[in-house]
Amino acid sequence: MKSLPFAVAKGAPAAGPAGGLDPVETGRSLVALQCSSCHTVSKATAFLGGNRNLAAILKRRGMTDAAAIEVYLNAIGGFPYMHPVVGTPEERRYMAQYLERFVKEAYPEAAQTARPQAGGR
Amino acid sequence: MEKGRYPVWEGFLVHGAILIGVVAVLHVVFSHLTVAATWFNWWVERKALVENKPYLQDYLKASALRLLMFAYTIGAMMGVGIWFSVTASNPRSIGALIHNFVFYWAAEWFWFIIDVFGIAVYYYTFGRVNPRTHARIGLILALAAAGTLAIIVGILGFKLSPGHWLQTGLSLDGFYNPTYWPMLFARFALMFAITGLYAILVAATLPKDHPARLEVTQLAGKVGLVGLAVGVALVLFWYVPQLPQHARQVLGIPLVIQPVFFHKMLLGVAATALVLLLAFLAPRAVSRRAVGFLALAVAFLGLFGAERTREAIRKPDLILGYLAANQILWVDLDFGSRKIQAEAPRLDQ
């Protein structure tokens, strides 16, 4: 475990509902860790729209609910400028849940009209 | 930091990358200015001695005072600012750099101490030591300034083109990487363009009828133009061809390198060239503070485009082929005596 500084230490409280941690907040940590170096991932840094704001990107692709976002997260690959997502299936689900919340925070109107168009490019 | 969150610094109001970018480009402007200005001033000082033009001393004093008060001070503060901002945003990559290059940085700080004390010595010894000795102090200052450049360029280039380091893990291989020499010479040339603009600005603060005013403006235009032309040529015909295949591919992806980056660079180069050319041809028209400030602002914009492009073409990695921007290791590296194991597959389990 010492060689994996970003893995959860053994014996630490488990993530997700079982461990008493909010899955969306867990997803937020994971998204911040993996994506925030290149994307704005929360309203905290969204001044003037932010930098490659993930809420904007996902909204533009019509992905405003967790299920569609999760499919998309798993499909990321083959971009020369971006590595695929890492994490267990559970962790990816949490990331998608957080991203859904972020999109809806940024675009309240998307909360009503959510109609997934998975796989859109 | 809230409970349950791994400490990740996203930025403050704006994205962390923008903050680093602004701090770093300010550092680039001032540090490049100080390096080339020490050479330019040494040259002017020799001219004053050899051609017996003591009035040029007035320009030198004015220049050295502003270098000491603004360029060195702000430049050094922004240098520390880079350390703060990059450590907060990406501790693991700065850790990797320190592991590889700590003694190179130690060496750089020797140059740096000579350089920073040197500018104070240089300014306060005007008229107090004999002129030849003073010119020699200027030369020591210039050599030390160039020394800092020669070291930091190795570490800077390593991140984009680690070269043989990826096979050997030897820090010297990382330091003398494929873009080391082209970047060293390109930066050394381009910084004379910035210094040219600065010299125009400083000369414009001299009294209207001062003989140094037009003479220095013309010299600045000449030196700056040569630096700009040589620098741009080196970037296009030596630096860019030396870039790793991956970087050249990303350079052509508009989603990553937006056209506005190129527009900024073009505008910066064109405006700088125009001002320098006019300084040479019509020094009287250009010798105004407003022109100097405006030209430096546009040059800043151009540098912002250029440095951001250089930083962006190593996406998705911070150290290309080794450490990802999000601090995850993607590849197995075998240095013979030690091995680095990829983490990504294990993080999926």
Quick one: which H or E segment has residue B267? helix B259-281
Q: Quickly state the pLDDT bin for A19 (edges 50, 70, 90).
A: low
Residue B139 above 90 pLDDT?
yes
- Is the residue at A72 inside a domain? yes
Q: Quickly state the pLDDT bin for A42 (edges 50, 70, 90).
A: confident
The SS3 assignment for B197 reads helix
- Is the residue at B1 inside a domain? no
Query: What Rg value do the Cα atoms of chain B yield, rounded?
Result: 22
- pLDDT tens for B247-257 read 999 888 888 88
Q: From CA B93, how far away is CA B219, in angstroms rounded?
A: 43
The total number of structural domains that make up chain B: 1
- Is the residue at A5 inside a domain? no
Q: From CA B264, how far away is CA B220, in angstroms rounded?
A: 23
- Is the residue at A77 inside a domain? yes
- pLDDT tens for B13-49 read 888 888 998 999 999 999 999 999 999 999 999 999 9
Give the residue from B198, B197, B195, B102 showing the smallest Cα distance to B146: B195
Instruction: Let me know: does B304 contact B277? Beta carbons within 8 Å.
Output: no
Q: From CA B149, how far away is CA B131, in angstroms rounded?
A: 27
- Is the residue at B79 inside a domain? yes
Which domain, by its residues, includes B54? 16-348
Q: Is the ipTM of this complex over 0.95?
A: no
Give the residue from B124, B122, B148, B146 showing the smallest Cα distance to B135: B122
Q: Best interface-test mutation with B: which of A25, A29, A35, A36 has the largest number of B CBs within 10 A?
A: A36
- Is the residue at B91 inside a domain? yes
Question: Interhelix angle for B259-281 vs B289-312, to 10°?
Answer: 150
- Is the residue at B185 inside a domain? yes
Nearest CA-CA distance, residue B327 and chain A, Å: 8
Q: From CA A111, how far away is CA A109, in angstroms rounded?
A: 5
Task: Indicate which CATH number applies to the domain containing A32.
Answer: 1.10.760.10
Q: Cis check for the bond before B316: say yes or no (omega within 30 of 0).
A: yes
- Is the residue at B294 inside a domain? yes
Q: Which token pair is B178?
A: 């494929």
By Cβ distance, the residue of A6, A35, A81 closest to B256 is A81
Residue A45 above 90 pLDDT?
no
Q: Tell me whether residues A4 and B347 touch, CB distance under 8 A.
A: yes
The total number of structural domains that make up chain A: 1
How much is the pLDDT for A20? Answer: 65
Interface residues of chain A, partner chain B, Cβ below 8 Å: 3-7, 21, 25-26, 28-29, 32-38, 40-42, 44-45, 47-48, 50-51, 79-84, 86-88
Which domain, by its residues, includes A28? 20-113
- Is the residue at B75 inside a domain? yes
Q: B279 — phi, psi (to 5°)?
A: -60, -35
- Is the residue at B6 inside a domain? no
How much is the pLDDT for B88? Answer: 87
